[in-house]
Amino acid sequence: MTSLHWVTQVLEVLAALVAAPLFVGWINQCRAWLQNKSAPPLLQPYRGIRKLFHKDAVLATHASPLFRIAPYVVFGAMVCAAAVIPSLGTRLPFSDAADAIALVGLFATARVFMALAAMDVGTAFGSLGARREMLVGFLAEPALLMVIFLASLIAASTSLPAISEGLATRTLALYPSLAFTGAAFLLVLLAENARIPVDNPATHLELTMIHEAMLLEYSARHLALMEWAAALKLFNYACIGFALFLPWGSATGDSPSPVTLLASIPILGLKLLAAGAVLALIETVSAKLRIFRAPEFLATAFLFAVLGLLVHLLLGS
Amino acid sequence: MSNLSLDLQLLNTFAALLLLSSFAMLSQRRVVTMVNLLAWQGVLLGLATLLLAWRTGNSHLYVSAAMTFGLKALFLPWLLHRLIRRLGVYWDSEPLLNIAATMLVGLLIVIFAFGLAQPIAALATTSTRSSIGIAVAVVLLAFLTMITRRKAMSQVVGFLSMENGLFFGAMSATYGMPMIIELGVALDVLVAMLVLGVFFFQIREQFDSLDLHHLESLKEEK
């Protein structure tokens, strides 16, 4: 039943492309509600992207080709990642291309290109943002890898769809180790996607920005692609989280019926709604950390992940 | 893996949470939060004891569970909070090592403790033997907490957390010590706490602070 697998694959990438800006819009809306502000419309990120695509791009005088290529590379990496992550079904023809560890590498590629592009023009803010991004990235990556190692230890595979399927079909039991790594993953997600304790996505304040500082020199279609890629990254991380910690509801098995595939779409939507509300809540109740406290924040994530791994090895649960 | 019965799964979860509370204590800068964490550790320990008592039907474990709740979860934290209020020491100075480094050292200690407990666990016959490693880790982490702090208050919290670890170790290795020893240890801890409370006031009177490096020099001059 390979045709259905291909349908799943195409549907999944399309869902990622369409739902990523919506997810960001939903988080912004929830956050505005929680802060007693009037919320922007749900489709606001789409409008922003459309507006940017209609504008003419302006390039800095000293921009090298790397600066122009970077948005396409970053966007491409995120679409590839979306194709590998099992968000709707676990039988993906494309998933053999990259296992979970290569997926982390894919994210790293996007990060390196973004940082290089930010340094390329030679403005102070660009290189400041790039350095900070690399600091956060190099601390977040080991924690993310540890999370993935634990999941692959439990499921005996490093392929993300296989892990997700293994976790979805096991008998229900208390896994303290998974709870620890779940906490670690949440911290990594917040740090990697420039959410509030580490970076504030809604501000352009010079002293605190990380992600926005790297995008300052971009305009028009390049900026649109970068913002879409950032939304896709958040969506991808959320889907990795679902695959590892809430794997139920996606179409599993060798020959899933089309009905389960169709049913998995609203289930994914519900999960995203809940995740967005939780993220907005976290961002509302926590204050932004000083940049020098970020290593501590990520050390905690690493600690949680390693503790999960150790507890799993010792207690077997 | 998942063929453990539900109560064993719960016990394992409590053990894991105990380890987590030790790490939380290790990373805290505020003494008040450390005391609250100690109280939570007492609650977790009490719950684990209660569950084990129910599982094994050992009646003396019920007594020690009640003692754990009363003494470690309620009375000692209350006493410490009172001391903190009266001494006005809400903050510890920055720990000797920075927090991230302390955490990494803590992780190494946990690995060491798990390795150390392996032969003991292999000899033990209890069904909770796998959590002996966690008990050893809690003891060693409490040591680390004491080593990295300067103020007397946080060192006492570390000391009490160490006692929690020892208690948990005895519980998972042999389903608890004999009643008489448990009573003795509880009484010792209680008396030690009261004496230390008096000590705090004396130390502060002499040196105007609870910083213990004042005690390192034996002579008056310097």
Contact across the interface for B130 and A299, Cβ inside 8 Å: no
Residues of chain A contacting residue B130, judged by C-beta atoms under 8 Å apart: 314-316
Model confidence pLDDT, tens digit, residues A95-129: 777 888 888 999 999 999 999 988 888 888 888 88
A313/B contact by beta carbon, under 8 A: yes
Contact across the interface for A317 and B2, Cβ inside 8 Å: yes
Model confidence pLDDT, tens digit, residues B186-219: 888 888 888 888 887 787 777 777 777 777 766 6
Cα A218 to Cα A104: distance, rounded to the nearest angstrom: 25
A109/B contact by beta carbon, under 8 A: no
What are the CB-based long-range contacts (under 8 Å, 24+) for A151-159?
A151/A100, A151/A178, A151/A181, A151/A244, A152/A100, A153/A309, A153/A312, A154/A178, A154/A312, A154/B1, A158/A99, A158/A100, A158/A101, A159/A95, A159/A96, A159/A99, A159/A100
Per-residue pLDDT at A317: 61
Cα B1 to Cα A306: distance, rounded to the nearest angstrom: 19
DSSP state of A193: T
Model confidence pLDDT, tens digit, residues B106-137: 999 999 998 888 888 888 777 777 888 899 99
pLDDT at A208 over 80: no
pLDDT band of B1, cuts 50, 70, 90? very low
Which of helix, strand or coil describes residue B222? coil
Model confidence pLDDT, tens digit, residues B20-52: 899 888 888 788 888 899 999 999 999 998 888
Establish if B63 belongs to a structural domain.
yes
Establish if B67 belongs to a structural domain.
yes
Domain of residue B117 covers: 6-214
Mean pLDDT of chain B: 83
Q: How far is A306 from chain B (nearest CA, A)?
A: 8
Q: How far is B109 from chain A (nearest CA, A)?
A: 12
Compare B136 and B154 and report the one with higher pLDDT.
Answer: B136
Q: Nearest Cβ partner of A173 from B9, B16, B103?
A: B9
Contact across the interface for B107 and A307, Cβ inside 8 Å: yes
Compare A63 and B176 and report the one with higher pLDDT.
Answer: A63
Amino acid at B167: F
Per-residue pLDDT at B92: 63
* Rounded (10°) CA dihedral A306, A309, A311, A317: 150
Q: How far is B12 from chain A (nearest CA, A)?
A: 7
Q: Are A90 and A252 in contact (CB under 8 A)?
A: yes
Establish if B219 belongs to a structural domain.
no
Determine which of A297, A314, A317 to mutate to test the interface with B (most B C-beta atoms within 10 Å): A314
Establish if B1 belongs to a structural domain.
no
- Give the global pTM: 0.84
Domain of residue A264 covers: 2-315
Cα B10 to Cα A166: distance, rounded to the nearest angstrom: 23
Residues of chain A contacting residue B4, judged by C-beta atoms under 8 Å apart: 173, 316-317
Establish if B221 belongs to a structural domain.
no
Per-residue pLDDT at B2: 47
Other Cβ atoms within 10 Å of A217 Cβ, number: 21
Q: Are A154 and A167 in contact (CB under 8 A)?
A: yes
Q: How far is B6 from chain A (nearest CA, A)?
A: 8
A295/B contact by beta carbon, under 8 A: yes
The token pair that represents A261 in the structure block: 């595939």
- Tokens 């922003």 belong to which residue? A48
Contact across the interface for B114 and A306, Cβ inside 8 Å: no
Share of chain B above pLDDT 90, in %: 15
The interface predicted TM-score of the complex, written ipTM, equals 0.77
Q: How many domains does chain B contain in total?
A: 1
Establish if B153 belongs to a structural domain.
yes
